[in-house]
Amino acid sequence: MLPRGALLGNWRQWEASQMARFILKRLLISIPIMIGITIIIFVLLNVVPGDPVALMMKEHISVDVVARVRAQMHLDDPAFIRYFRFLFGALRGDLGESYKLQRPVAALILGAFPTTFVLALWAALFAWIVGIPAGILSAVKKYSLPDNLFMGFSLMGVSMPIFWSALLFQWCFAVKLGWLPVAGFSSWKYVIMPAVVLGWSSAGTIARLTRSSLLEVMRNDYIRTARAKGLRELPVIFKHALKNSLLPVVTVMAIQVAGLLSGAILTESVFGIPGVGRIAVNAIQARDMPLLQGTVLFETLLVVLGNLTADILYAFLDPRIKVN
């Protein structure tokens, strides 16, 4: 008979290998998803009429020049050849060159990503720091004035369009009060407003979810038992109830971060932030196929990784949930 420690070690080893298999499986599944998305984008852009060279020339259009440059850019090649050229390039890490910006797509995305990353992280931090305590307080003091205030705040965050809240913040804190710069991304001062605007919506969702989840957990028998044993309210909430109630919240948080990282198009446009969202706007406006394919592929990858992270966190947070 094996000693207890050895049994436990084998069990953990088995669990780790199961986790590794789970992650690998999820990553492999994501490959056809990403290929499928590139096909959809490619087909859509080829079905709708439009010519990127004509668009580049706009008012100075010349039929001769358009024809010559199209041939030089291989835009007259059959669609499937262009698609497979893109796909094989992508497999080698080469996402092609942007028609409009005339730079390698991978370099454009990676160049803009640190900016988006910084913005997304500060927005997420704001959402978590504000959303979770607000949710807890609302649940603990349900139907009280603070509860109504926090839920009103979160409802505004969820329902107010970002472009509108962004303009209000700019007008109030930059133009009228002069505390913060209107737009740009040159120092820490420039991060505050866009991070709050972007994080507000996420904070609202997190606060409402935390509140409802915590209220549901607080009704469980084990919470009643803990109280009956004479535990004070704070340990009951933070030690027993909160951990279980955060499970759905963590899932949403992970997906939110993936969404934020894939480029906050409106926030970046209104605040003039040179992130991935602006690159995506450039691509859509210019019918820039390589750039659009590249940004979509990148964003899909982030969403897939965000979901995967949520699943893994689930397994870590709740021992009852196993990867198999």
Contact 267, 277 (CB under 8 A): yes
User: 51 or 77, CB closer to another protein?
Assistant: 51
User: 248 or 272, CB closer to another protein?
Assistant: 272
Residue 41 in contact with another protein, rule: CB under 8 A:
no
93 residue type, one letter: G
Which residues, numbered 262-291, are part of the site for another protein (CB under 8 A)?
269-274, 278-279, 281-282, 285-287
Strand partners, 97: 104
Looking at 26-34, 85-93, 164-172, 304-312, which segment touches another protein (CB under 8 A)?
Answer: 164-172
User: 139 or 273, CB closer to another protein?
Assistant: 273
Residue 22 in contact with another protein, rule: CB under 8 A:
no
CA 121 – CA 119 distance, rounded (Å): 6
CA 149 – CA 140 distance, rounded (Å): 14
User: 89 or 272, CB closer to another protein?
Assistant: 272
Among 112, 124, 193, 198, binds another protein (CB under 8 A): 112
CA 22 – CA 27 distance, rounded (Å): 9
72: number of CA atoms within 13 Å, CB side? 9
CA 278 – CA 276 distance, rounded (Å): 5
User: 52 or 204, CB closer to another protein?
Assistant: 52
Which residues, numbered 186-245, are part of the site for another protein (CB under 8 A)?
186-189, 191
Secondary structure of residue 97 in the 3-state scheme: strand
User: 102 or 324, CB closer to another protein?
Assistant: 102
Q: How many residues bind another protein (CB under 8 A)?
A: 66
Secondary structure of residue 74 in the 3-state scheme: coil
Q: Closest distance between another protein and the C-beta of residue 313, in Å? A: 19
H-assigned helices in 141-275: 145-159, 162-169, 188-218, 221-228, 233-235, 242-261, 265-270
Secondary structure of residue 219 in the 3-state scheme: coil
Among 38, 66, 291, 310, binds another protein (CB under 8 A): 66
3-state helix, strand, coil in the chain (%, to 5): 80, 0, 20
Q: Closest distance between another protein and the C-beta of residue 275, in Å? A: 8
User: 265 or 315, CB closer to another protein?
Assistant: 265
Q: What Cα–Cα distance (Å) separates residue 309 from each residue in 256, 257, 303, 312?
A: 11, 10, 10, 5
Q: Closest distance between another protein and the C-beta of residue 159, in Å? A: 21
Binding site for another protein (CB under 8 A): 48-52, 54-66, 68-69, 72-73, 100-103, 108, 110-115, 117-118, 121-122, 167, 170-171, 174-175, 178, 181-189, 191, 269-274, 278-279, 281-282, 285-287
